[in-house]
Structure 1
Amino acid sequence: MDKSWISSSRLSNAYYEGVNTFLEFARSNNPILDVIPCPCVNCINLCHRSIDNARYHLSAHIFDGNYKIWSFHGEKQPKIDFRCPNNSIPPDAIYTKDMLHNAFKYVEKEYDLLKSLLEECDKPLYVGSKYNALSGLLKFQHLKGQFGWSNAIFDALLCVLKDILPSNNTIPSSIYESKKLLNGVGLQYEKIHACENDCVLFWKEHKDASQCPTCGTSHWKKNTKNVPSKVLWYRRMLSIPQIAHDLTWHAKGRVNNGKLTHPRDNPSWKLVDNTWKEFGQEKQNLRLALSADGINPHKSLSSKRSCWSVILITYNLPPYLCMSRKFMMLTLLISGPNQPGNNIDVYLAPLIENLKLLWETGVETFDS
């Protein structure tokens, strides 16, 4: 299909014909949906509009010039010939952009940040490289975490790479510059202060307390100002509408052969269905397992500090997905000089509040 008219800035008759061709294509691929992602330069497929509103936007603002493959409207990505990368779309150009669009799909106030990241996706790391500026940096950042490089080592590496790569390279020259670029890619988290003896969180009514209301221990480290004695890292749970189909696998996709092959066959699951019948009848309601354990994030067995992770696992999914890394949600990270022990329930309070919100009120999300 010829899309040369997309990049044209002249709103000619050919452009309007092209807009109508696009809208018919989008409608035919999603006949049951009332809205489609709008590909104008302002919405860049983040905002969902009706067909008429999308037509108005495309007339008033024209197409996003980089949207040449209609992957958000049903068109298949071209097959990539890895033997001849110059004659095909580099895989990172596709996957990094898809990742960014997924991350920002329902964000209403971060369009400028997303646009700047997408611009980095259009800059090659250097002329002839299969990586772009963003995907190349993500590759280096992954190696940093995998091998436990310190910030000083990573900073020195970036300086050397900046120097030895071709002069037109776009790699950041320091770790400070790399953090500025990657700031928009990372998942947001909340830091909540805690009592050194694991009595309470300095949260909600205790947020401004200078000492623990239970044991009297100071909120702050000794001989410091505004440095908390212990911190809980909390990440809010995210909705992932792309896996809506897989979330009903436990009810529609599995073979019921009378054997225990999935948590769905467990008596505890059936007890929930019988006790809360309305909940059990909705196949997309999430069944979550909670797991907590101490870890050594830097592979050091002699560490003097404790680090505990609290992970949620979605049991709605098929077995090969529900235990895969991408569907394990790291919701809490408890770090401090001592392990929480039996007082771990104190740290679970923000997560429990979030789960109660899902149970009692619900959270609106997009049904893909």
Structure 2
Amino acid sequence: MDKSWISKDRDSLDFEIGVEEFLSFAEENSKDPKRIRCPCCRCVNFKKFSTKIIRGHIYDYGFSLGYVDWIWHEDNAARGTRSSVGSTHHPASDQNREHFAASETVEVCEAAFNASEYDEDSYDFRRFVVDAEQPLFEGSECTKLESMIKLHNWKARFGISDTAFTELLSSVGSFLPKDHVLPPNSYEAKKTLSDLGLEYIKIHACPNDCVLYRGIHSDASECPNCKLSRWKVGKNGELRIKVPAKIMWYFPIIPRFKRLFKSPSTAALMTWHANQRIIDDKMRHPADSPAWKNIDYRWPAFGNEPRNLRLALSADGINPHTNGLTNRYTCWPVVLVTYNLPPWLCMKRKFMMLTILVPGPHEPGNNIDIYLQPLIDDLIKLWEEGEENDA
């Protein structure tokens, strides 16, 4: 008997056993066994089907390349006990993985998956899923997405410039195996994370802080108050049409608030002030303050729902340049803080939400209310209409 046929039969049997182990695992850990993410090469965990259809897809198209940890097929209780087709699970290897890779990166993927910005045929999201599953290099336990999130976090934490970040990526890439997928420069690294859907909006503004060119002024070419041109004046004194004289950045808050509730662990913390706070007549949390209680008294329907957001707004001028006080340029960030969270988390950097960035070179002063208009509009919408969480 040809030994090659025996080997092929054994491989086929191992594959069939692995497929059935996967389907059993997926059914046991799925909230809806009739709608499970399909891990085949065509669906790449993006579409949901019954196990019968998924079994056919896997045999026809095979498993998605790089999908060895079943991160898309485990609920909160199963997290940390993942397996892979054709391999034996080793708990020690999970212990060696950093907690970041085991939980936060997975939650980032899930939040992006649940976001409504993408449809089922989105190429951008498919590329994002591939990055989430693709190992940094053959045999690596770290995926491309995990490495990018860690490196970007380090870049933001220490204020590293794009030029220095490109040099770092180039140096690190030279130490990795030739088949690595680490981006070669800062531009490519940013593109890797651009599919998370955390967009921003550029809004033209009057250089004298009179109006924003939005709404009824969206098509205006000059300020209705001071009559100053909307467009930048070149060195030759001529207007540079379509080049705005001043731009503010607005980061829409509603999609970001929805993402807070798409992460199961964060969603549970959003009701901490109502379910876990110690009530002993001491000031331990903003919920113990008279202002909070006044809101509950004046709007009882709002106060009776612990998931309703309680926010604090903060704004201050900063010098974004490195030459200290000698530079008179000042830009103004506007930050929202969510007081629903425990006091040891609500002031953490990851939960402080940058919503508006007002450029310089001079402070807006009392005219800062002009720049708050998009934020106020979204807050009014949340107050009057609310927003459905489609998680």
Classify the TM-score, shorter chain. Answer: 0.7 to 0.9
After TM superposition, give the deviation of residue 309 of structure 1 in Å.
1.1
Distance 2:55 2:179 in 1: 37
After TM superposition, give the deviation of residue 246 of structure 1 in Å.
2.0
The 8 Å contact of residues 290 and 312 in structure 1, kept in 2 or not, is answered as yes
Q: 1:359 to 1:304 in 2, by over 3 A?
A: same
Which amino acid letter does the alignment assign opposite residue 113 of structure 2?
F
Match of 1:106 among 115, 130, 147: 115
Distance 2:330 2:293 in 1: 37
Deviation string 1:198-237 (CA, Å, 9 cap, x unpaired) is 1110111111211111111111221233222221111111
Q: Please, which moves more after superposition, 68-77 or 288-297? A: 68-77
SS of the aligned residue for 1:233 comes to: strand
Deviation string 1:223-257 (CA, Å, 9 cap, x unpaired) is 23322222111111121213332222222211211
Q: How does 1:1-368 map to 2 (within 5 A)?
A: 19=23, 22-23=26-27, 25-26=28-29, 30=31, 38-41=36-39, 54-55=50-51, 57-59=53-55, 61-62=57-58, 65=64, 66=67, 68=70, 70-72=73-75, 74-78=77-81, 94=102, 95-107=104-116, 108-109=118-119, 111-127=122-138, 129=140, 131-185=142-196, 187-223=198-234, 224-237=240-253, 238=256, 239=258, 240-241=260-261, 242=264, 243-301=266-324, 302-366=326-390
Q: Please, which moves more after superposition, 176-185 or 217-226? A: 176-185
After TM superposition, give the deviation of residue 299 of structure 1 in Å.
4.5
Q: Please, which moves more after superposition, 314-323 or 194-203? A: 314-323
Which residue does the alignment assign to 1:3? Answer: none
After TM superposition, give the deviation of residue 341 of structure 1 in Å.
0.6
Distance 2:137 2:14 in 1: 32
Q: Please, which moves more after superposition, 130-139 or 267-276? A: 130-139
Distance 1:8 1:264 in 2: 61
**Unaligned 5+ residue runs, structure 2?**
1-10, 83-91, 235-239
Deviation string 1:57-106 (CA, Å, 9 cap, x unpaired) is 53564496525354236413149xxxx76996576653434422223323
**TM-score for the superposition, normalised by structure 2:** 0.76
After TM superposition, give the deviation of residue 311 of structure 1 in Å.
1.1
Identity of aligned residues (%): 39
Distance 1:9 1:312 in 2: 56
The alignment covers a number of residue pairs equal to 351
Which amino acid letter does the alignment assign opposite residue 58 of structure 1?
I
**TM-score for the superposition, normalised by structure 1:** 0.80
Q: Please, which moves more after superposition, 161-170 or 314-323? A: 161-170
After TM superposition, give the deviation of residue 344 of structure 1 in Å.
0.6
Q: Please, which moves more after superposition, 96-105 or 65-74? A: 65-74
SS of the aligned residue for 2:277 comes to: coil
Which amino acid letter does the alignment assign opposite residue 193 of structure 1?
H
After TM superposition, give the deviation of residue 11 of structure 1 in Å.
11
**Unaligned 5+ residue runs, structure 1?**
1-6
SS of the aligned residue for 1:104 comes to: helix
The root-mean-square deviation of aligned C-alpha atoms, in Å, is: 3.8
Q: 1:317 to 1:178 in 2, by over 3 A?
A: closer
